[in-house]
Structure formats: structure tokens, C-alpha cells
């Protein structure tokens, strides 16, 4: 595709790839594709579609040309509802434009463990990239699920991404426990979660290219370790994984950092920042680095009542004003954080960073005794949806035994008729 040896049905080279998936088939590739934008090659633009909300697929289709767009369906089972419905919309859009079903074979690829399912969609067998059915989506970036990344950064850079991950794999396997980064981070997470009652953990990347890292790690950690029974099925006797959230610095400093510094909850945080930026502008990166260090220091050191009083006195406030204002300026400090420093966001360092969090998640799962590789809670909503959808569409009027609240909301939807 990058060398333009493969073209669309009209003979034009591809300029855009639309990756259609959800969960791990979406979050991991989207993160890496954004993070490695400085390494994009060949002018190929990559778009991602995941949400079943029709706005997602239609807004992407408005940006691309049918003759120069390659669609990549990413679904291990090739039965995921959101992915198939969005893929059918894309397929019909293409066929309506060119008037020929045979164009599907020119414009669609698939990554799946269900090759027959992809073939029935109209994708040729030699255009299906197989994956193992035992790979969970949140761990699948390193497999053929990473194809949209390879299509934009090239195979050499994709191999460098894998090499970085492999280096972290080797470190996790071989390093002594006291110097083993995934083990140390995993133990710290358990310490704060189970012994200090920290219910959440903030991921704070100080790099715009890493803006989707909190979203990816949210699924990785919470889908893996959000369990209430052990591997043997016994009730879990302790709290399992924390709520993962976060966003880019320094934006968060003007939003939720207030809660971190002065709120009543203990919120451990990971600060992540590169030493070098891909886009040097004036003193921006030094400013960004200073913000990162000042925020982590403020979490650690805080500000005492005596310091607050002295600060107000130096500003010329009266004794009465000092006593009134000083308590509001106290910051407790002693809030835990890690600072992870990369030389620069490159394929190698990004691969190592993502693998670090994968292994940290596994370490915590082992300590809690949960299976970090299943996700039965996700399946329940899918099962219930199979009974609700026909009723919403007026195809099944029978009572399926749902609750009165759900029944009322179904009736409300049907009364509007927007389907």
C-alpha cells in the first residue's frame, strides 16, 4: 500500500485507511498511530471508527474519497456487533458509489481469527490477516491488529515498536525483582490500592502525542483486573483494580489537579514525559517539563500552614486576613507519584512503555489472584443486547422478562420511531 503497488478499483493509489474495530482493536492502534505521527510515511492518513453511534462512521466517510480509501475490519471473531454494523455501512457506501460489488475485494482487508466470516463479507482469503483466537483485544497490538500502524509508519518502524516491547519483556523476565520495573510498579499499585484505600490511579502524560495513553491503559487495567472472584471462582477477599483515568499535562493542571492536591481522596499518579520533543518551539518543552516536575513536587511536598501564613505575610496581608486565608492555601502533600522519563517518543520507547504497563497489570493480577485475561462482565451486556435490539426495532413484541425500567425505555424509544 505504501509503495502504491496496490490500488483501488479505479486504479488510483490509496491515500486513506479506515480502521474499523472496537476495544483493543481500536484503542491500542489509535494510541500508537497518534503517538508516532512524526514517523508517518507515504502520506497515508489513518482514521479510526469504533462507536456504534452512526455519527462516528459517517463523519469519517465525509472526509475520504471512495476511490482512494482502504478499509480494514479488525475483529477477532468477526461477529462483534459494533464493528460489523459499521463495516456494513462502509461497504454499502463504497458499492453505492462505484455500482459494483466486486470493488469490495479491492478496498477491504480484515484482521480476524474467523477467516470464513471475512470471506462471506466479500474479502478474499489472501487479504485476511489471521490472529490467534486466544489473544485478548487489549493485548493484541503486537499482532496483526497493529496493521493500521504498520500502514502509516512502515514495517521498519513497526518492527522497532516490537523490539521496544521485546526489550521490556526481557527486562521483566530477567531483571532482579528489586530492579524490575513492572514488578516495582505493580507492588506500589497494590500497596496504595489495598493498604491506603486509593480507589483511583491517574495517568498523566506530558506529551501531546501520548494523549490517548490514558484511554488505552484504562481498558488494559480495568478490563483485566476488574474482577470480584479469584481464578478458582472463590470470592475475592480484597479490593481488585483501581479506576484508571487521566489526561495530558499541562491541561489537567487547570482542571482535576485541584482534587489531587487538596481533595480528601488519595490519588496516586504516573507522570510520563520525554526529555526531547519532536516539535521544539521557543521554550515550550522546558516550560512543559517544569510543569511536570512542579506538579509531582507539589504532590510530594505540599504546603504547610506555617508556609501559607508566611507567604501571605510576605504579600502584605493583615493578621486577620492571614488567619482567614491560610487554611485554604494548605496543601497536605505526601501524595504518591511515579515519574517515567523517556528520551523521546519513538517506536522503541513507546513499545517499551506500553509493554511496561501490560506486565505491571499482570503482576497485580497475580498478587490479587484474579484472571487478567478474561472479561465476562463485558459479555453480559452483549447477551442482554441481543434481546433488547429486536424489541427496539419492533421485530419482537414478546416480554423477554426484562425489568419495568427497561420496558418503559423501550416503549419511549419506539414512540419516537427514529430507527
pLDDT, tens digit (0-9, with 9 covering 90-100), for 15-31: 999 999 999 999 999 99
Q: How far is CA 132 from CA 137, 377, 382, in A?
A: 11, 22, 22
Q: What is the largest CA-CA distance in the chain?
A: 83
Residue whose entry in the numeric block shows the C-alpha cell 490479587: 368
Distance CA 130, CA 136 (A): 14
Task: Enumerate residue ranges in the chain where pLDDT < 70.
Answer: 1-4, 397-401, 419
pLDDT of residue 187: 98
Closest CA to 334 of 294, 301, 295, 297: 301
From the list 254, 328, 395, 397, the catalytic residue is 254
Neighbouring C-beta atoms of residue 218, cutoff 10 Å: 18
Predicted confidence at residue 385, as pLDDT, reads: 83
Instruction: Look at residue 398 in the predicted model and tell me its pLDDT.
Output: 64
**Which is catalytic among the residues 223, 261, 285, 358?**
223
Residues 189-210 pLDDT 10s: 999 999 999 999 999 999 999 9
The C-alpha angle with vertex 188 and arms to 31 and 273, in degrees rounded to 5, equals 40
- Residue 352 CB contacts under 8 Å (≥ 6 apart), including other chains: 164, 165, 167, 168
What is the radius of gyration, based on Cα positions, of the chain? 25
pLDDT of residue 1: 63
User: Would you state the pLDDT for residue 401?
Assistant: 65
- pLDDT at residue 397, rounded to an integer: 65
Active site residue 335: no
Can you tell me which residue has the cell 497485580? 364
The answer to whether residue 199 is catalytic is no
Q: Supply the mean pLDDT for the chain.
A: 94
Query: Which residues have a Cβ under 8 Å from the Cβ of 137 and sit 6 or more positions away?
Result: 23, 24, 25, 76, 145
Return the H-helix or E-strand segment holding 245.
strand 243-246
State how far Cα 221 lies from the chain centre. 10
Query: Is 254 an annotated catalytic residue?
Result: yes
Query: How confident is the model at residue 378, as a pLDDT?
Result: 84
Active-site hit among 276, 284, 382, 386? 382
* CA dist., res. 258 & res. 331, Å (int): 10
Amino acid at each position: 500500500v505504501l509503495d502504491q503497488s496496490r490500488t483501488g478499483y479505479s486504479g488510483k493509489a490509496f491515500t486513506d485507511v479506515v480502521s474499523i474495530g472496537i476495544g483493543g482493536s481500536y484503542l491500542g492502534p489509535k494510541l500508537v498511530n497518534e503517538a508516532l505521527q512524526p514517523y508517518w510515511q507515504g502520506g497515508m492518513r489513518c482514521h479510526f471508527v469504533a462507536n456504534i453511534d452512526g455519527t462516528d462512521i459517517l463523519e469519517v466517510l465525509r472526509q475520504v474519497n471512495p476511490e482512494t480509501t482502504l478499509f480494514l475490519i479488525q475483529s477477532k471473531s468477526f461477529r462483534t456487533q459494533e464493528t460489523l454494523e459499521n463495516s456494513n455501512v462502509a461497504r454499502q457506501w463504497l458499492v453505492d458509489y462505484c455500482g459494483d460489488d466486486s470493488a469490495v475485494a479491492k478496498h477491504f482487508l480484515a484482521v480476524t481469527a474467523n477467516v470464513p466470516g471475512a470471506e462471506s463479507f466479500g474479502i478474499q482469503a489472501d487479504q485476511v490477516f489471521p490472529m490467534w483466537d486466544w489473544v485478548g483485544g487489549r493485548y493484541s497490538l503486537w499482532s496483526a491488529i497493529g496493521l493500521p500502524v504498520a500502514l502509516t509508519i512502515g514495517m521498519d518502524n513497526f518492527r522497532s515498536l516490537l523490539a521496544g516491547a521485546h526489550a521490556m519483556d526481557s527486562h521483566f523476565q530477567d531483571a532482579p525483582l528489586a530492579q524490575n520495573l513492572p514488578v516495582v510498579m505493580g507492588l506500589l499499585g497494590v500497596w496504595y490500592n489495598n493498604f491506603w484505600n486509593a480507589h483511583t490511579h491517574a495517568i498523566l502524560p506530558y506529551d501531546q502525542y501520548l494523549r490517548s495513553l490514558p484511554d488505552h491503559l484504562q481498558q488494559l487495567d480495568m478490563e483485566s483486573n476488574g474482577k470480584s472472584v479469584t481464578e478458582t471462582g472463590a470470592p475475592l477477599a480484597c479490593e481488585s483494580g483501581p479506576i484508571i483515568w487521566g489526561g495530558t499535562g499541562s491541561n489537567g493542571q487547570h482542571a482535576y489537579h485541584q482534587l489531587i492536591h487538596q481533595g480528601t481522596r488519595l490519588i496516586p499518579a504516573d507522570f510520563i514525559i520525554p526529555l526531547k520533543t519532536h516539535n521544539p518551539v521557543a521554550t515550550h518543552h522546558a516550560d512543559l517539563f517544569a510543569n511536570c516536575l512542579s506538579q509531582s513536587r507539589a504532590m510530594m511536598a505540599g504546603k504547610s500552614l506555617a508556609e501559607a501564613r508566611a507567604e501571605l505575610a510576605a504579600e502584605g496581608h493583615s493578621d486577620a486576613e492571614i488567619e482567614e486565608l491560610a487554611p485554604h492555601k494548605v496543601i497536605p502533600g505526601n501524595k504518591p507519584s511515579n515519574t517515567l522519563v523517556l528520551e523521546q517518543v519513538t517506536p522503541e520507547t513507546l513499545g517499551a512503555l506500553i509493554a511496561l504497563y501490560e506486565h505491571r497489570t499482570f503482576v497485580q493480577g497475580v498478587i490479587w489472584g484474579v484472571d487478567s485475561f478474561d472479561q465476562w462482565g463485558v459479555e453480559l451486556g452483549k447477551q442482554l443486547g441481543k434481546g433488547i435490539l429486536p424489541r427496539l426495532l419492533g421485530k419482537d413484541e414478546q416480554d423477554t422478562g426484562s425489568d419495568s425500567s427497561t420496558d418503559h425505555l423501550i416503549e419511549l424509544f419506539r414512540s419516537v420511531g427514529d430507527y
